[in-house]
Structure 1
Amino acid sequence: MLAIRDEVFAEWEQRVRCLIQGADEVSHPVLLDTLPLFYGNIAEALSPGFDRENAASDSSAATGHGSERARTTDYKAVEIVHEYQLLRDVLLQVARRHGIRFTDQEFRIIGSSFDQAIRDAIEEFTALQRAFRERVAASLTHDMRSPLSVIVSGAELLLASQPGKADKILQKILENGLRLEQMIQEQLDAIRQPAAQSAPLSLAQLDALRLAREVAEHVNDTTPAHCRASGESVIGWWDERALRRALENLASNAAKYGDGQEVSLNVAQTHGRVIMSVHNYGHPIPDERRKDIFEYLNRGEQSGKIGWGIGLPFVQEVAQRHGGTVVLDSSAQSGTTFTLDIPIDAREFNGPGVNPPG
């Protein structure tokens, strides 16, 4: 096992750089990180006289591997699994070429070594990524509070001291400042509270078309784009604040990426579901971005219009918590449409203790 180690890792590195996206940009020492230690542990677990159940027991080599991948690469979790699988396959193939034959018990030790190593590495990898995202969100929400307090207090003073002068603009500044303050508090609460324990939605009856028209007015007030709302009145049970934020995210994105053309919001209903679509005629979203566009902190640098990568994941979360989904349709010919497709009555999806419809 030890005699063929260099050959195993040379072949493994070649395959990894060919098959795993982003691996070809990683230096040799970073690519191998703790894997040679893990390999040495396999040899010990297979050798008489060593008290090691498998290569991952009594060792943090796999945990260290997951940690380094999170800190030094752009890997996703599935790519860590893939590289362990490639190492296992290469090990067995090179061993076979050299006439090394493993017993059934030795095969079980090798299998359990890789199984536990994958679990340990993924657990550490995801924990570090989650911690990083929480720090980013906490930093954003904390740092935004100071300038926000200045905006809100300034608007209040101007309204009190200069009645009648630019009241509409000042009122909008104040309303949006207070809304942003509430959104920051919600974000801080979400950071402190696991997703599985999220507070129930605040459901009430509202008209989706009225909401769409208010969102269109907000976009027209805050961006150079023209936004138009149309469709039919649909009365349903939803969380107005969450749904408003989701639509505003979609409409603001449409205005941002719409190349100055009109943004349209449409409301319709079918089979007990409301269909709220936001459309623009900007450049289509490439196929390679569609699979991860709803991931947090996926910022889409290729577009040249960089955001925080928080809006679309939030939209998806709002749709899912209402029992629905977000559908993306994008092509050069028809433009880009994001559609919120959710039940008209979301009460049955709002956690325990909520009365179902009927």
Structure 2
Amino acid sequence: MTLATDQDQHGRGTSPTVSRFASLRDAVMDHWEQQVRERIEGAKDLAGPVLTNTLPAFFDNIAQALSATHPRRIGSSGTNLATAHGRERARMTPYAPDHLIHEHQILRESIAALTDGRVALGLKDWDIIDSSINAAMRESCAPSWTSKMSHGAGRPPRCPMTCARRCRSLPMALSLSACLSRRR
């Protein structure tokens, strides 16, 4: 069992709504995994732990953010889970950034499908859930594919100065310069 990033395993002071939401984690994650495998190219062949990665802990963080007594404001605050998730996707999967965004959208859909009729979530709760997932999408995409692309796994950045700043040695800079001059 994966716990939220601050290891609050007792859920002290949580409301019945938050407790019901948290109790649906495994069902939400199972639904999410099945949907991701069906709808995202490249996900079908990933091992379960590689696919779910940090998302169960992120779900727990969202539950904490839903609690009025917990200091976490959104599921991604005070943690690097989303960044770690994105880096793992960039490093260990054939995913592109749009696949990662789609994963998060499916998580939102899975939460909606499995809480409907089971958990009375209000507008404020959905604002927290949406803000959490939106922040996680931004945090997981930004550094992951910038790094992947700078190491030759994707398209090179469009800005030559971005490439030049990434050069760490004179031979790399000269090679980049030659490549850019051939483009013109």
- Tell me the TM-score normalised to structure 2 length: 0.73
2:70 aligned counterpart, secondary structure: coil
1:188 aligned to 157, 176, 179, which one? Answer: 176
1:133 aligned to 148, 152, 158, which one? Answer: 152
1:15 aligned to 35, 57, 70, which one? Answer: 35
Q: What amino acid is the match of 1:127? A: T
Matched, 1:64 2:84: yes
In structure 2, what is the Cα distance between the partners aligned to 1:121 and 1:51?
A: 22
1:9 aligned counterpart, secondary structure: helix
Based on CA coordinates, which of the two structures has the bigger radius of gyration? 1
State the match for 1:49 in structure 2.
69
Question: How many positions carry a matched residue from both structures?
Answer: 149
Over the residues paired in the alignment, what is the CA RMSD in angstroms? 2.5
State the match for 2:101 in structure 1.
81
* Structure 2: stretches of 5+ with no match in the other structure: 1-20, 157-162, 164-170
Matched, 1:27 2:43: no
In structure 2, what is the Cα distance between the partners aligned to 1:129 and 1:190?
A: 22
In structure 1, what is the Cα distance between the partners aligned to 2:35 and 2:178?
A: 41
More helix by share: 2
Kindly report which structure 2 residues correspond to 1:52-201, keeping only aligned pairs within 5 A, or say none.
Answer: 52-98=72-118, 100-133=119-152, 186-189=174-177
In structure 2, what is the Cα distance between the partners aligned to 1:185 and 1:45?
A: 46
More strand by share: 1
In structure 2, what is the Cα distance between the partners aligned to 1:58 and 1:116?
A: 12
In structure 2, what is the Cα distance between the partners aligned to 1:190 and 1:36?
A: 47
Listed one character per residue, the Cα deviations across residues 6-58 of structure 1 (whole Å, up to 9, x for unaligned) are 11011111110000001011000000001111101000000121111100111
Matched, 1:2 2:22: yes
- Tell me the TM-score normalised to structure 1 length: 0.39
Cα distance change on mapping 1:185 and 1:131 into 2, 3 Å: closer
Cα distance change on mapping 1:190 and 1:105 into 2, 3 Å: farther
> How far 1:61 sits from its partner (Å)?
0.6
In structure 1, what is the Cα distance between the partners aligned to 2:45 and 2:98?
A: 18
State the match for 2:166 in structure 1.
none
Cα distance change on mapping 1:190 and 1:54 into 2, 3 Å: farther
1:24 aligned counterpart, secondary structure: coil
2:23 aligned counterpart, secondary structure: coil
* Structure 1: stretches of 5+ with no match in the other structure: 139-144, 146-183, 192-197, 202-240, 243-317, 319-358
